[in-house]
Protein backbone atom coordinates (compact mmCIF):
# COMPACT_ATOMS: atom_id res chain seq x y z
CA UNK A 1 0.00 0.00 0.00
CA UNK A 2 2.03 2.92 -1.29
CA UNK A 3 -0.28 5.74 -0.24
CA UNK A 4 -2.37 5.60 2.85
CA UNK A 5 -2.59 9.34 3.21
CA UNK A 6 -5.81 11.26 3.34
CA UNK A 7 -6.28 14.90 2.42
CA UNK A 8 -6.12 15.92 6.06
CA UNK A 9 -2.41 15.34 6.31
CA UNK A 10 -1.46 15.71 2.67
CA UNK A 11 0.08 19.11 3.47
CA UNK A 12 1.82 18.18 6.69
CA UNK A 13 5.58 18.28 6.74
CA UNK A 14 7.70 15.19 6.77
CA UNK A 15 10.27 15.14 9.55
CA UNK A 16 13.24 12.99 10.38
CA UNK A 17 13.73 11.93 13.97
CA UNK A 18 17.00 11.46 15.77
CA UNK A 19 17.40 9.71 19.10
CA UNK A 20 17.96 12.38 21.72
CA UNK A 21 20.40 10.15 23.57
CA UNK A 22 22.71 8.89 20.81
CA UNK A 23 21.69 10.75 17.59
CA UNK A 24 20.79 7.50 15.87
CA UNK A 25 18.27 8.15 13.07
CA UNK A 26 15.01 6.63 14.28
CA UNK A 27 12.75 7.65 11.46
CA UNK A 28 12.91 9.24 8.01
CA UNK A 29 9.18 9.67 7.49
CA UNK A 30 7.78 11.10 10.69
CA UNK A 31 4.64 13.09 11.29
CA UNK A 32 3.93 15.27 14.30
CA UNK A 33 0.87 14.07 16.18
CA UNK A 34 -0.84 14.08 19.52
CA UNK A 35 -2.35 11.22 21.43
CA UNK A 36 -6.10 11.45 21.07
CA UNK A 37 -6.67 9.94 24.49
CA UNK A 38 -4.39 12.47 26.18
CA UNK A 39 -3.72 15.64 24.21
CA UNK A 40 -0.88 16.69 26.51
CA UNK A 41 1.27 13.88 25.14
CA UNK A 42 3.27 14.77 22.06
CA UNK A 43 4.20 12.06 19.66
CA UNK A 44 5.49 11.43 16.19
CA UNK A 45 4.09 8.69 14.05
CA UNK A 46 5.41 6.87 11.01
CA UNK A 47 4.28 4.15 8.64
CA UNK A 48 7.63 2.36 8.64
CA UNK A 49 10.88 3.02 10.48
CA UNK A 50 14.13 2.39 8.57
CA UNK A 51 15.70 -1.06 8.97
CA UNK A 52 17.79 -1.51 12.14
CA UNK A 53 16.73 1.85 13.60
CA UNK A 54 14.62 0.51 16.44
CA UNK A 55 14.00 -2.79 18.16
CA UNK A 56 10.92 -4.11 19.89
CA UNK A 57 11.25 -4.86 23.55
CA UNK A 58 9.27 -7.11 25.86
CA UNK A 59 5.74 -8.37 25.28
CA UNK A 60 2.56 -6.83 23.95
CA UNK A 61 0.42 -4.95 26.43
CA UNK A 62 -2.64 -2.69 26.51
CA UNK A 63 -3.06 0.75 28.04
CA UNK A 64 -6.15 2.18 29.70
CA UNK A 65 -6.78 4.34 26.64
CA UNK A 66 -8.13 1.66 24.35
CA UNK A 67 -7.85 -1.98 23.39
CA UNK A 68 -4.87 -1.64 21.07
CA UNK A 69 -2.05 -4.07 21.65
CA UNK A 70 1.24 -2.21 21.80
CA UNK A 71 4.86 -3.08 22.37
CA UNK A 72 7.72 -0.86 23.51
CA UNK A 73 10.32 0.32 21.03
CA UNK A 74 13.91 0.91 21.99
CA UNK A 75 16.59 2.74 20.03
CA UNK A 76 18.90 0.26 18.28
CA UNK A 77 21.81 2.59 18.96
CA UNK A 78 21.57 3.06 22.72
CA UNK A 79 18.74 0.88 24.02
CA UNK A 80 16.68 3.73 25.48
CA UNK A 81 12.93 3.40 25.15
CA UNK A 82 11.85 5.84 22.45
CA UNK A 83 8.30 4.87 21.56
CA UNK A 84 5.96 2.01 20.86
CA UNK A 85 4.56 -0.05 18.02
CA UNK A 86 0.86 -0.83 17.71
CA UNK A 87 1.02 -4.54 17.01
CA UNK A 88 -2.74 -5.00 16.93
CA UNK A 89 -4.93 -1.91 16.51
CA UNK A 90 -8.33 -1.93 18.17
CA UNK A 91 -11.62 -1.33 16.40
CA UNK A 92 -12.05 2.18 17.78
CA UNK A 93 -8.68 3.36 16.56
CA UNK A 94 -9.12 1.75 13.16
CA UNK A 95 -12.48 3.45 12.75
CA UNK A 96 -11.76 6.87 14.20
CA UNK A 97 -8.30 8.10 13.46
CA UNK A 98 -6.38 5.73 11.31
CA UNK A 99 -3.64 7.20 9.14
CA UNK A 100 -1.88 3.90 8.64
CA UNK A 101 0.82 4.84 11.13
CA UNK A 102 1.41 2.20 13.77
CA UNK A 103 4.88 3.22 14.91
CA UNK A 104 4.92 6.00 17.50
CA UNK A 105 7.82 7.97 18.96
CA UNK A 106 7.73 10.04 22.14
CA UNK A 107 8.54 13.68 21.40
CA UNK A 108 10.67 13.90 24.54
CA UNK A 109 12.92 11.07 23.41
CA UNK A 110 13.75 12.27 19.95
CA UNK A 111 14.85 15.35 18.08
CA UNK A 112 12.96 16.59 15.05
CA UNK A 113 14.93 17.41 11.90
CA UNK A 114 13.12 18.98 8.97
CA UNK A 115 13.20 16.90 5.80
CA UNK A 116 13.64 18.79 2.52
CA UNK A 117 12.68 17.95 -1.04
CA UNK A 118 15.43 16.66 -3.32
CA UNK A 119 16.05 20.20 -4.54
CA UNK A 120 16.92 21.15 -0.96
CA UNK A 121 14.80 24.28 -1.30
CA UNK A 122 11.39 23.25 -0.02
CA UNK A 123 10.08 21.31 2.93
CA UNK A 124 8.90 17.88 1.95
CA UNK A 125 5.21 17.31 2.61
CA UNK A 126 3.37 14.02 2.95
CA UNK A 127 1.56 14.49 -0.35
CA UNK A 128 4.92 14.44 -2.16
CA UNK A 129 6.52 11.66 -0.20
CA UNK A 130 7.38 8.63 -2.35
CA UNK A 131 6.00 5.19 -1.42
CA UNK A 132 7.76 3.56 1.51
CA UNK A 133 9.94 1.07 -0.35
CA UNK A 134 11.17 3.65 -2.90
CA UNK A 135 11.83 6.11 -0.17
CA UNK A 136 13.92 3.78 1.96
CA UNK A 137 15.92 2.74 -1.07
CA UNK A 138 16.66 6.33 -2.00
CA UNK A 139 17.65 7.28 1.49
CA UNK A 140 20.48 4.78 1.59
CA UNK A 141 22.53 7.18 -0.54
CA UNK A 142 21.66 10.22 1.48
CA UNK A 143 22.90 9.44 4.92
CA UNK A 144 25.97 11.63 4.64
CA UNK A 145 24.09 14.71 3.46
CA UNK A 146 24.27 17.81 5.61
CA UNK A 147 21.20 18.38 7.77
CA UNK A 148 19.70 21.66 8.81
CA UNK A 149 17.62 22.18 11.90
CA UNK A 150 14.44 24.22 11.96
CA UNK A 151 12.22 25.30 14.82
CA UNK A 152 9.30 23.12 15.78
CA UNK A 153 5.98 23.66 14.10
CA UNK A 154 2.58 23.85 15.76
CA UNK A 155 1.09 20.61 16.95
CA UNK A 156 -1.69 19.10 14.92
CA UNK A 157 -3.82 16.11 15.57
CA UNK A 158 -3.66 13.21 13.14
CA UNK A 159 -7.38 13.61 12.75
ZN1 LIG B 1 -6.86 1.58 20.07
ZN1 LIG C 1 19.62 6.11 20.92
38/65 Cα distance (integer angstroms): 8
Distance 120 CA to ligand 1 centre (A): 37
DSSP-based three-state secondary structure for 71: strand
CA 115 to chain centre: 13
Distance 39 CA to ligand 1 centre (A): 15
pTM (whole model) above 0.85: no
- What are the domain boundaries of the chain? 12-139
- Reported as a single tens digit per residue, the pLDDT across 4-44 is 445 678 889 999 999 999 999 999 999 998 777 778 889 99
CATH class of 12-139: mainly beta
Q: Look over the chain and give the mean of its residue pLDDT values, rounded to a whole number.
A: 83
Distance 91 CA to ligand 2 centre (A): 32
Closest CA to 45 of 80, 78, 89, 76: 89
Beta-bridge partners for 38: 35
Distance 21 CA to ligand 1 centre (A): 29
CA angle 79, 106, 112 (to 5 degrees): 95
119/140 Cα distance (integer angstroms): 17
pLDDT at 116: 94
pLDDT at 133: 83
Amino acid sequence: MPYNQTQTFFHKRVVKLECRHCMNILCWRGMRAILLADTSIELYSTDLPPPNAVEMSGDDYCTSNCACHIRDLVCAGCGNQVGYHVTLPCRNCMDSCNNGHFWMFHALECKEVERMEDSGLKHLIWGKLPPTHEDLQKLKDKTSKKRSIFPLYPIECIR
